[in-house]
Amino acid sequence: MTNEVEIRDYQSADYPQIIELWSQTGLGGAQRGDNQQIIEQSIAMGGRLLVAVLGNELVGTSWMTFDGRRIHLHHFGILPKYQRKGIGKNLTEKSIQFAKEKGYQVKLEVHKDNTNAIALYTKMGFSYLGDYDVYIIRDFKNL
């Protein structure tokens, strides 16, 4: 299957399918501040959004943002019906290659119960950073 899948850079026309994929995989959406403007702004700041496309269907994403210190890989997901077919491995390899070409560390966060993703990431060379909690402020209206 991976031979049929094209891994390419994000195009503005991909946005509706990306939001649908993120909704189906629980990766993001408007409630997390994900919108087309933010995606394109992050790319302009040195990040990249790779998409996996099979025919006309967008089946996977890997969004990498750059903070000047390291690449943060997030919103990495494959539509459930296409998982465990080698697409995630291919997309991970392309993502790591981007970080390697830029010359920065790459970091990601994964839910501790997502054993399939953890297995993929460790197989691809990622190592567990340590036992810490992640905190975030998503909405400043209540502060």
Res 141: pLDDT: 82
51-55, 65-69, 95-99, 121-125, range with the lowest pLDDT: 121-125
φ and ψ of 62, to 5 deg: -145, 105
Assessment of whether the complete model's pTM goes beyond 0.85 = yes
Let me know: does 44 contact 66? Beta carbons within 8 Å. Answer: no
Strand-by-strand arrangement of the 105-108 sheet: 6-9, 48-54, 57-66, 70-78, 105-108
Give me the mean pLDDT over the 88-116 stretch. Answer: 90
| Rounded Cα–Cα distance for residues 48 and 51 (Å) | 10
Instruction: Tell me what pLDDT residue 113 has.
Output: 86
Lowest mean pLDDT among 68-77, 93-102, 105-114: 105-114
CATH of 6-142, one of 3.40.630.30, 3.40.50.720, 3.90.400.10, 2.120.10.30: 3.40.630.30
Show the tokens assigned to 60. 């996977």
